[in-house]
Structures are given as C-alpha cells and as structure tokens.
Homo-oligomer: A and B are copies of this chain.
Amino acid sequence: MKLSDILLAPQPRIETIGGDVLHAMKQGDVGYAGFGEAYFSLVSHGAVKAWKRHTRMTLNLVVPVGQVRFVFYIVDSVGVEKFRVEEIGQDCYARITVPPGIWFGFKGLSSPQSLVLNIASIPHDPNEVERLPVSNINYIWI
C-alpha cells in the first residue's frame, strides 16, 4: 500500500437557480469500488477524528459543507513513516478515494461544523476497522 494509491478527483459543482448541484460519485468512476453503505460524519470546527484503518473497505470521501483536512499515514516497507495531507471542502470540491490499509484521520476547519460523506464499498463491519488514539501517531494537528 502506498500513499500515491489515494486518489483525488475534482468533482463538478453546477450553478443552479435555488442552490447548486454537486456531484459526488457515479457507478464506474475511477475509485468506485462498489456500494456498501453511505453515511455522514459531522466534524466541529477544530475537532479531530483520528485514527482509523480499514482492512477491506475502500472509502470515497466528499465534503459538501465546510472544509476538512484529511491526514493519511503509512509505515512503508523499510519502516519509514509517511504522511499525506489533503484539504477538501465546499471551496475545493473533490472526492478522495482511500483504499484499505491506510491510517487516516481528519479535522474540521470550518465553523460551526463540516460535513463528510463516505460512500463505502462495503457495509460497516467492526471486524475490519482498526483504531488508534490520536496521540499514538506522531502528527501535529495544529
């Protein structure tokens, strides 16, 4: 697993009378790995939700409201810790595809809350989620 396996795909935002239309994901898009479940995570301004790693789920993440910093973490094959940071949201509208095997966390950058949609490739299964306390990975969430 490499951090370059994480895909960032800008998504169309279509100006519409009464309120814009924002694409999220289409069957057959690059990064689409099947539909298991869709759920939202709200994240308050300054709050950090970290860390999680999935062993089977591919995540597809979009942020239609607010702005969110996602941090991805792996230890590579020679033991070197690597991080990748992506910020997406209403002003930088894109989808992030996260394959299994990558630690991730995120922080809300907008007041009062930001909204993350995850279109997950499999339904929630507690047996394929690993968790670590935020302090267990050496990233400074300024």
- Report B-chain residues with C-beta under 8 Å of the C-beta of A65: 65, 115
For A108, what are the chain B residues with a Cβ–Cβ distance below 8 Å? 18-19
* Those of A1-54 within 8 Å (CB) of chain B: 16-28, 34-44, 47-49
Query: Majority SS of interface residues in chain A?
Result: strand
Of the candidates B24, B42, B48, B124, the one whose C-beta lies within 8 Å of that of A38 is B24
**Residues of A bordering B, CB below 8 Å:** 16-28, 34-44, 47-49, 64-65, 108, 113, 115, 117, 119, 123-124
Which 4 residue pairs spanning A and B have beta carbons closest together?
A19-B42, A18-B47, A35-B35, A22-B40
**What 16 additional pairs, Cβ within 8 angstroms, besides A18-B44, A18-B49, A40-B64?**
A16-B41, A18-B48, A18-B108, A19-B41, A19-B44, A21-B40, A21-B42, A24-B38, A24-B40, A26-B124, A27-B36, A27-B123, A38-B119, A65-B65, A65-B115, A117-B117
